[in-house]
Structure 1
């Protein structure tokens, strides 16, 4: 379902709104603090829509749940607006807007500028030159002058500014019709933050371009290894042969990536980054009357310009299926995709509802007729909505022995039922009710609110906000007749794009070649005068708020079971947990048994009736097993608490063996295992587990193929029937008073006289690295994935504070040593990080992990670069203070609420903490010095042996190069996965 149902569902929960007339959602105008704004009556977010004199949209919604503010700067431009001869430009520009202006990002702008002007001219010459030898010579000049210019540039001063402010989640993204810049800041830093953001867009300077360009090359090459990305591109090209949705990829063509123009990028910025094409969205803890004044004071300097909105010629109807085949090493899958109307169309909402009739995870036609009956490996449907058009997608994966064409027939068969109206009309009401359940908690989430408002701004739907907040009201009015007519209009047996993702070699891949780049100077530890000035500005304090487990959580007993209780005072939702301290390490059958439950019936109810019963009362249950824990979760509307819990207890206690369902499940498990072997991320995780624990490790210790084959239905049902005989804790977050809850759960949840002992747990001993070793697995890919692993000393709570600051300093963000060196200075990777990991339980050790994902031909340089950092830590007092400040402000503004209180308490128990350990960390921060971080690096990281994990194609790297690191062990997929 679309995200924009968040607001409408909240309205449906309001009794006042339920009783109001049809015109309950009306546009109104009001004034406060000297500013006029618009709003929609009965908007649960109480959103204010302002337009400044220069045309800048400012959208504000208040949330006082925690002292933070979520910020989005949304620009209505993306790859749709890229010039035809410079695709990928909007995405380039997004990267460059982190590089500073003439005021920050430079030690001496007057001296830096002439070199940047030369680089601009050289790129124009480079793009116009066809002779390969001449191009190499020109690029050598670009590289040389860029190196000189870098001595005046300060890499990532923007990130330093954000770290000083205490921002989290610094990021940005570009898509077909949007470019969005994202931050999450402490509420006491708004003035400083807005000043920096206004400066960011005043006069951006495109410095350090050729290393950032190389990061984009890396991003492009990563997309070539991503079969899902190739499916997406093929889908859009097939559906939109005219519109830029399908004709211009966001990341751009290889040819255009190789011939960038800084002049074209600057022209694009000047054309589209104008206030009447931009929107500031703020959601969080602030006074809106004061906030709008601050925004105008900082962004009022911007000058409006006419902006020509991208408009494509209308797409012609698709009159015959467009079939495309995509090849790659990952698991087979398929999609059937239809072009649907614009976001503003009423029919878009109807088709969104239709996608939920097919697939809602519980009782959709796909869910009951295909997934529950295990007729395919998995199927789903959904609507992907853009401004000008939407894409209705039906997707599936084949099970063992099944062809992609068979899955296509299954999906089309269910679509035919939908087109004939062969479904219960009451499902519409149930979908609306369950969307309430899914999205109610979004009211507490500033990020969700900001994202929703950003999406509305990009799609030009802010002035249709009345329709947004009435979305579910309107959906509830849709009749079966209207839905069937709409589906038949847009989803027929001819007007679709059919995608088959097959296993095979993609012969069309042409990677972006690695240019010769000399590492640049990043001037780490140095600051511009602007940054010094901004850092000197004091802000008001935010007092941290610690948990008091004697007050914030109630601990008691229900018979022999421990009960953990936190009351929900915000809404009428509950979550109930039964949690067992046993998992797959105690019993290998648990994950299969918990998966099996969804297909089982009882004497009273069929599996289908059970699923429908939960869905009809807007409740859910889930049961899952991890390595050391099994958890049952039941959630929903409190008014249906007793029905939901009672039904789950009935199902668990009385489910019946079903050999046919088990046979189908076994087949799907075997297929899932085969699919995992074709997934490079799964392979890397297998290597990491092997590095941490040796040949016998948690990753490869599941049931063998033979053990699965020999399983009988009674084996799994017996595990389910006996589950509640084992020791477990009961946890509740909901509106019931504690005594009422305990009385109710005592009636619903029968406990044994005494708990059974857990089955003996298999313990995996962390490996001790005594010498460098390299684990290698071959995979057909353009990139290489490299991880460094080292198990270290046992857990010590007193080390947590230095570990957290060290991670911020060394490898945890854009301003870290690792990112600045590997990506910014040396342009060796798009993705890189390094973390000294803290265990979740006091019995386990710390361990070090570093990662680089890079082009195969950069692997040797990347390994060398990371090894240098692991050996010697670059020292910067400034970077240390920023790392320390960032962690301090995180602690000050973090508010642990709702179910999080229970999670925090359990974490404290597992780690042996007394009380809220954050309080101890906060107190210890003031005494922490750079020398402490240096000491930790020297004692725990530097000069130590590591196990290197490498996933790459043996056709694109030289295994002999790896032998210089240490002993190379090539692992087969069978050794990694254990089957």
Structure 2
């Protein structure tokens, strides 16, 4: 359950409707199955809006693409609503709503209840106690009573129920105006899902609180190590000196995290988790008449209450730039943010959406053409964060080599000056509309996109204005240049906040200290009568569907190139790929050449004109070089297929050297490399690759500084010109028939008489872990991140089912042994997992990979806990049964569609398979036992040597502790990155 910091550029936003839109998009009312609902005419999602008698909003959108349903249950309560003296409360509560009720999550509620009440009273006392010694004594009592109470608790029973019914993506997030609970369920699990959710919100029990609180501490500490989050929170605080958007962080202050109060959390729940403040959104494969009736039956117990809406005083205008600085180890950057009207100002929301696309759309925006395409900075971007009361319109950038952040600032603001003067082509708006239409078609394929858009409308109190959301793309075309210029001049002056992210020590970090916690029982084998009841509820079986690569993919050829084809019968989109049997391991320069192409023109077009041409026809192209393949993709509207493909073919054949562009690209690459050395995620990835392959590994296989400097523009252009001479497969997914598609491609795509042999590829061999070793790298951070790595046997398809079961049981999710033990029982980490990682190529070896991210002072305890699980596998027949049932449900409801069918075939082929291995896995599930899992664990994990990859601050851990785990080798950044 993570905080969700999302920057939304709304696809479905609000607008002032013109006469045409009013005629096309109208609210209508209908009755079906005994329930009345409202809908908007010509809504592509065909959403039904219900309001039950108790005020609960239910929004349903049917999509029969696959037998699954994305569900969201949301309440209009987030950090805005936190009490001033208990910030972070809404987020705490989100975590606690996974802990169960008196019916589930408990072995004996009658015995557990008085202990839960005692814990609540103790936290109340702890909250009001100021003397350090007295607080320590109270906390000791909390820990003691919590340990007794935990003997009656069943940890993760919610997760077990959801996994057992085949749910995926079990999660939740809290943000400023919302808390939303997320599940992706099989279409045959509706009754089970609604029964569990109705009980979940009936009267939640806040059990296992002190260990969950420690998980939140860990989440806070992870945030302290995240420079991007610190910039975001600093920016909001400066933009909103009064509003809770800026004054109350979602995760809360360190002081408030140290002083929780369960009674205040209960009051918050009773105040905001009421039906007239909540919505259930479902998008997917279901009968809406049945679903609304069942929701009404299950949630009818909820009673409406008046909800006091958060209505702050208006923010005073910003009259001059507000300058802030944030320090941390990551690379420097700059963020400029303006406070603009929020979601309820529908006209402004529409105009901001257009302005955002004028400034940046990936191809033809002002920042795209004037800054990124000309490589004037390392990179620059636009963000448009639409909240209910205000929006935040932002510009961001990173400096290239030898450039100051103030120079980046001037370049960013200069694009706003162009906007304010109206020095842009008004016809760009038409292209923006066409590209939004393309995005709209693509989003309709996703249940998650549907559900998210509908829930967002509810949270921002715009569900009644869904007509505006549906009409958004149409209404974009009615926005005039005058409206854009007027808006820009009104809102984009010297009234901004600017945050400089500087490299350096953050002296303001206040770490949440480790409390004394005694591990608690998790009662893995226990299950409540409620869980048994849910498991026994009848569910119509869903028959799995296997791919038959011989039937589901049509094959042809054009010249000496194979063609793989699947028809798109749903819409007017196409995706065309040229997949080459040559990659970075054949030629390190390929990735650079692919990157260079976007800055090149031809004898007919400049690089800027090429971007505009593709944007105008709502199409895209991309060239991507991976280790063993290079892929050209051309995508968009089928009506513009010929234009897009012929334009790309012209570019790849006729691109011309540009020395200035190459010099700028080299400089940006050098700066990006330097920045990567400051990024802890990149460093840890490099450490893992070093552990897996040794000093020469795929992560650091890149051009040396000398090689980079020596490359010429002509050399890279020659690589691009000759790319289509290498052996490649042509892949088409689109509405045309195979004959029509191949005829069109043959007409447009030039093939050589014979393919040029690819240069021999470099081979990387996984190392053997013969003894324990520690690879350590120093990084200025609050937490410590530890990976365990061990390479194992070569790929064997017969093991696929057992490996999948082992991962699910052992360490692959919130219901797994690793998560239950390290986080739920011992409160040692916020994030932890362990998986037996499968290779993607025949002959390659499996690897064991485990991870714990914890406070530095918990490192030894965390390593000990993980090692205990790696060496001794606890038995839980109930957990194993849940894992098996979840596997079956996942496979039964998985549908591989569209061009995914072709890429599934290619992945299988790479593994030496010519069949859909899911069938073999599915048929093996029932026959697998704990003994099989235990034998696998003993053979490949238990008591084996591992390489420990540890990223931490030398100042926060004892170096001698590292020696307990193996011979220590301290790696420099140069050794990790290869430059």
TM-score (structure 2 length as normaliser): 0.98
SS at match of 1:599: coil
SS at match of 2:598: helix
Mapping of residues 584-663 of structure 1, within 5 Å: 584-663=584-663
1:360 counterpart = 2:361: yes
Structure 1 residues 32-58: Cα deviation after superposition (integer angstroms, max 9, x where no partner): 111111111111111110000000000
Structure 2 counterpart of 1:110: 110
SS at match of 1:312: coil
Mapping of residues 914-953 of structure 1, within 5 Å: 914-953=914-953
Query: What is the Cα deviation at residue 5 of structure 1?
Result: 2.3
1:441 counterpart = 2:442: yes
1:203 counterpart = 2:240: no
Structure 1 residues 765-802: Cα deviation after superposition (integer angstroms, max 9, x where no partner): 00000000000000000001110001100000000001
Query: What is the Cα deviation at residue 948 of structure 1?
Result: 0.5
Structure 1 residues 447-491: Cα deviation after superposition (integer angstroms, max 9, x where no partner): 110011010110001000000000011111001011100111111
Structure 2 counterpart of 1:216: 216
Structure 2 counterpart of 1:69: 69
Structure 1 residues 605-651: Cα deviation after superposition (integer angstroms, max 9, x where no partner): 11111111111111110001111111100001111111111111111
Structure 1 counterpart of 2:818: 818
Structure 2 counterpart of 1:322: 322
Structure 1 counterpart of 2:431: 430
Mapping of residues 758-797 of structure 1, within 5 Å: 758-797=758-797
Given that 2:905 and 2:914 are in contact with CA atoms closer than 8 Å, whether structure 1 keeps it comes out as no
SS at match of 2:964: coil
Structure 1 residues 543-595: Cα deviation after superposition (integer angstroms, max 9, x where no partner): 01111212211112111011101111111111000011221111000111000
Q: Which whole-Å CA distance do the structure 1 matches of 2:107 and 2:647 have between them?
A: 68
Question: Structure 1 stretches of 5 or more lacking a match?
Answer: 13-17
Structure 1 residues 2-38: Cα deviation after superposition (integer angstroms, max 9, x where no partner): 55425999xx9xxxxx997741111111111111111
Query: What is the Cα deviation at residue 670 of structure 1?
Result: 0.1
Q: Which whole-Å CA distance do the structure 1 matches of 2:624 and 2:913 have between them?
A: 27
Structure 2 counterpart of 1:294: 294
Mapping of residues 889-908 of structure 1, within 5 Å: 889-908=889-908
Structure 2 counterpart of 1:270: 270
1:844 counterpart = 2:850: no
Structure 1 residues 147-202: Cα deviation after superposition (integer angstroms, max 9, x where no partner): 11100001011011101111110000000000000001111111111011000001
Mapping of residues 648-727 of structure 1, within 5 Å: 648-727=648-727
Q: Which whole-Å CA distance do the structure 2 matches of 1:367 and 1:931 have between them?
A: 58
SS at match of 2:579: strand
Structure 2 counterpart of 1:486: 487
SS at match of 2:410: helix
Q: Size of the alignment, in residue pairs?
A: 971
Structure 1 residues 364-388: Cα deviation after superposition (integer angstroms, max 9, x where no partner): 1111111111110011112110011
Q: Which whole-Å CA distance do the structure 1 matches of 2:649 and 2:31 have between them?
A: 55
Q: Which whole-Å CA distance do the structure 1 matches of 2:28 and 2:12 have between them?
A: 21
Query: What is the Cα deviation at residue 514 of structure 1?
Result: 0.2
Structure 2 counterpart of 1:348: 349
Question: Once structures 1 and 2 are overlaid, which stretch shifts more, 97-106 or 126-135?
Answer: 126-135
Structure 2 counterpart of 1:531: 531
Given that 1:332 and 1:501 are in contact with CA atoms closer than 8 Å, whether structure 2 keeps it comes out as yes
Mapping of residues 835-914 of structure 1, within 5 Å: 835-914=835-914
Going from structure 1 to structure 2, the CA distance change for 1:315 and 1:738 (only over 3 Å counts) comes to same
Question: Once structures 1 and 2 are overlaid, which stretch shifts more, 601-610 or 788-797?
Answer: 601-610
Q: Which whole-Å CA distance do the structure 1 matches of 2:9 and 2:717 have between them?
A: 38
Structure 2 counterpart of 1:240: 240
Given that 2:14 and 2:350 are in contact with CA atoms closer than 8 Å, whether structure 1 keeps it comes out as no
Given that 1:74 and 1:279 are in contact with CA atoms closer than 8 Å, whether structure 2 keeps it comes out as yes
Query: What is the Cα deviation at residue 235 of structure 1?
Result: 0.8
Query: What is the Cα deviation at residue 439 of structure 1?
Result: 3.1
Given that 2:582 and 2:726 are in contact with CA atoms closer than 8 Å, whether structure 1 keeps it comes out as no
Given that 1:6 and 1:442 are in contact with CA atoms closer than 8 Å, whether structure 2 keeps it comes out as no
Query: What is the Cα deviation at residue 420 of structure 1?
Result: 0.2
Query: What is the Cα deviation at residue 682 of structure 1?
Result: 0.2
1:180 counterpart = 2:184: no
Q: Which whole-Å CA distance do the structure 2 matches of 1:45 and 1:455 have between them?
A: 15
SS at match of 1:955: coil
Q: Which whole-Å CA distance do the structure 2 matches of 1:564 and 1:576 have between them?
A: 10
Structure 1 counterpart of 2:283: 283
Query: What is the Cα deviation at residue 522 of structure 1?
Result: 0.5
Query: What is the Cα deviation at residue 812 of structure 1?
Result: 0.9
Given that 1:28 and 1:39 are in contact with CA atoms closer than 8 Å, whether structure 2 keeps it comes out as yes
SS at match of 2:791: strand
Q: Which whole-Å CA distance do the structure 2 matches of 1:249 and 1:40 have between them?
A: 37
Structure 2 counterpart of 1:230: 230
Query: What is the Cα deviation at residue 529 of structure 1?
Result: 1.6
Structure 1 residues 382-409: Cα deviation after superposition (integer angstroms, max 9, x where no partner): 2110011100000000000000000000
Structure 1 counterpart of 2:370: 369
Structure 1 residues 493-522: Cα deviation after superposition (integer angstroms, max 9, x where no partner): x10000100101000001000001010000
SS at match of 2:42: coil
Structure 1 residues 213-253: Cα deviation after superposition (integer angstroms, max 9, x where no partner): 00000000110000000011011101111110000000001
Mapping of residues 719-738 of structure 1, within 5 Å: 719-738=719-738
Q: Which whole-Å CA distance do the structure 1 matches of 2:935 and 2:254 have between them?
A: 45
Going from structure 1 to structure 2, the CA distance change for 1:25 and 1:387 (only over 3 Å counts) comes to same
TM-score (structure 1 length as normaliser): 0.98
Structure 2 counterpart of 1:15: none
Q: Which whole-Å CA distance do the structure 1 matches of 2:20 and 2:274 have between them?
A: 41
Given that 2:13 and 2:349 are in contact with CA atoms closer than 8 Å, whether structure 1 keeps it comes out as no
Q: Which whole-Å CA distance do the structure 2 matches of 1:251 and 1:533 have between them?
A: 36
Given that 1:30 and 1:38 are in contact with CA atoms closer than 8 Å, whether structure 2 keeps it comes out as yes
Q: Which whole-Å CA distance do the structure 2 matches of 1:557 and 1:6 have between them?
A: 42
Going from structure 1 to structure 2, the CA distance change for 1:511 and 1:21 (only over 3 Å counts) comes to closer
Q: Which whole-Å CA distance do the structure 1 matches of 2:201 and 2:511 have between them?
A: 33
Q: Which whole-Å CA distance do the structure 1 matches of 2:752 and 2:440 have between them?
A: 37
Given that 2:21 and 2:474 are in contact with CA atoms closer than 8 Å, whether structure 1 keeps it comes out as no
Q: Which whole-Å CA distance do the structure 2 matches of 1:768 and 1:527 have between them?
A: 42
Query: What is the Cα deviation at residue 129 of structure 1?
Result: 1.1
Given that 2:21 and 2:475 are in contact with CA atoms closer than 8 Å, whether structure 1 keeps it comes out as no
Q: Which whole-Å CA distance do the structure 2 matches of 1:410 and 1:351 have between them?
A: 20
Q: Which whole-Å CA distance do the structure 1 matches of 2:151 and 2:348 have between them?
A: 57
Given that 1:340 and 1:348 are in contact with CA atoms closer than 8 Å, whether structure 2 keeps it comes out as no
SS at match of 1:23: helix
Q: Which whole-Å CA distance do the structure 2 matches of 1:919 and 1:753 have between them?
A: 40
Q: Which whole-Å CA distance do the structure 1 matches of 2:85 and 2:566 have between them?
A: 59
Structure 2 counterpart of 1:502: 502
Q: Which whole-Å CA distance do the structure 1 matches of 2:482 and 2:14 have between them?
A: 23
Structure 1 counterpart of 2:11: 5
RMSD: 1.3
Q: Which whole-Å CA distance do the structure 2 matches of 1:166 and 1:102 have between them?
A: 24
Q: Which whole-Å CA distance do the structure 1 matches of 2:148 and 2:924 have between them?
A: 42
Q: Which whole-Å CA distance do the structure 2 matches of 1:113 and 1:6 have between them?
A: 46
Structure 2 counterpart of 1:402: 403
Q: Which whole-Å CA distance do the structure 1 matches of 2:914 and 2:525 have between them?
A: 38
Q: Give the 4+ runs in structure 1 shifted more than 3 A.
A: 1-4, 6-9, 18-22
Structure 1 residues 902-935: Cα deviation after superposition (integer angstroms, max 9, x where no partner): 1111111111223211111111112111111111
Structure 1 counterpart of 2:393: 392
Structure 1 counterpart of 2:3: none
Q: Which whole-Å CA distance do the structure 2 matches of 1:430 and 1:554 have between them?
A: 34
Q: Which whole-Å CA distance do the structure 2 matches of 1:432 and 1:304 have between them?
A: 41
Query: What is the Cα deviation at residue 64 of structure 1?
Result: 0.8
SS at match of 1:745: helix
Given that 1:384 and 1:392 are in contact with CA atoms closer than 8 Å, whether structure 2 keeps it comes out as yes
Given that 2:518 and 2:826 are in contact with CA atoms closer than 8 Å, whether structure 1 keeps it comes out as yes
